[in-house]
Amino acid sequence: MSKYLKLIRSGKKKTIKKPINFLGYTRQNPSSKTRLRLLPNQKDIIFKVKNQKHYSIKAHFSNTENSQGDHTTFLSNGQGNKVKTVEHILSALYGLGIDSVLLEISGSNEVPILDHTAEIFVKKIIKSGTIHTRFDKQILQIKKTLFFEHAGSLAILKPSTKTVFSVLIQFDKPIGEQYMSIVFNKNNYSKEIAWARPFIRQSCDKKTWEECKKNVPLLPSKIKNCPIPVFKNNKWIVKTKSEDEPIRHKILDLIGDLATLGIPILGHITIIRPSHDFNRRLINYLGKTINKTIK
């Protein structure tokens, strides 16, 4: 395929055994709940929005869109139709090795937040079970060390017999500098990554909190009632579950964004200072490289 990348066959694609239902609020609409229904599908991960306007969007890198500082991942069909905040459900699917499912959304065009992590998704998907589809599954093997850099963030992809994620983040205290490396499999993902919450990355005084609530109306009126970690003057107001919860959530997001490549990666993936925008750029680079070498 190329001196850096190679596509290899690896059995059949997987989907869920039976439908799964979720109901919850979204980031932008805390007044009414959105329903998310997962259905078995033979090929690909596809979102279907069923509101006043019905449309479908494939979870594919060509449909990802810059969320413009919103710290989340959007999908768009290029006609003004979007599906928002897809990274946590995609992370759960990728983390459990599922690459074919239909996701129906009604009540909004955004995936419900639930507990702000991938854990509830993971538990229900495991309970449903998985089955193989009739379509072949491919894996993207890293053959030679590859570097990708943008705006101070760096990805290093190396050959490996296992998939490994290594991530470094650097923020002001109390988050600070954190590094984590994990061998990727569904057990490690479920136990070590799925439960990690996002975090507010800046010190929150009253004025800053009001700005946060404008961007995310789901947040409560009082900072101390925030469901995700938040700090003020280098001290946690809402504490993390573990000291390294922030880096674990960054890995959760990275895995969700990688799902849009459409092909699992076999290699050691190191990301320095990841973000949804950087992840999107990396995945677009990999996806376009695959497409060019296939033709």
Alpha-carbon torsion, ordered 259, 260, 263, 266, to 10 deg: -50
d(CA 187, CA 229): 25
Q: Among candidates 41, 50, 47, 48, which has minimal Cα distance to 18?
A: 41
Is residue 148 within 8 A of residue 271, CB to CB? The reply is: no
Q: Among candidates 239, 290, 279, 285, which has minimal Cα distance to 91?
A: 279
Q: From the candidates 116, 249, 268, 276, which is the catalytic residue?
A: 276
In the prediction, which pLDDT does 295 show?
A: 47
> What does the angle CA 231 – CA 235 – CA 238 come to, to the nearest 5 degrees?
50
In the prediction, which pLDDT does 13 show?
A: 97
In the prediction, which pLDDT does 53 show?
A: 85
In the prediction, which pLDDT does 52 show?
A: 83
pLDDT tens digits in sequence order for the chain, 295 residues long? 578 999 999 999 999 999 999 999 999 889 999 999 999 999 999 999 998 889 999 999 999 987 666 789 999 998 889 999 999 999 999 999 999 999 999 999 999 999 999 999 999 999 999 999 999 999 999 999 999 999 999 999 999 999 999 999 999 999 999 999 999 999 999 999 999 999 999 999 989 999 999 989 999 999 999 999 999 999 999 999 999 999 999 999 999 999 999 999 999 999 999 999 999 999 999 999 887 765 4
Residues 6+ apart with CB under 8 A from 63: 57, 75, 76, 77, 78, 260
In the prediction, which pLDDT does 69 show?
A: 65
Question: What pTM value is reported for the model?
Answer: 0.96
- What beta strand segments (E) does the chain contain? 5-16, 20-24, 34-40, 45-50, 54-58, 64-65, 74-76, 82-83, 101-106, 130-142, 146-150, 153-158, 164-170, 177-183, 230-232, 235-238, 265-266, 268-272
Amino acid at 236: W
The yes-or-no answer on residue 116 being catalytic is no
Residue range 35-67, pLDDT digits in tens: 999 999 999 999 999 988 899 999 999 999 876
Residues paired with residue 268 on neighbouring β-strands, in sequence order: 158, 164
**Domain spans in the chain, listed from the N-terminal domain onward:** 5-142+248-294, 206-238
CATH, range 5-142+248-294? 3.30.230.20
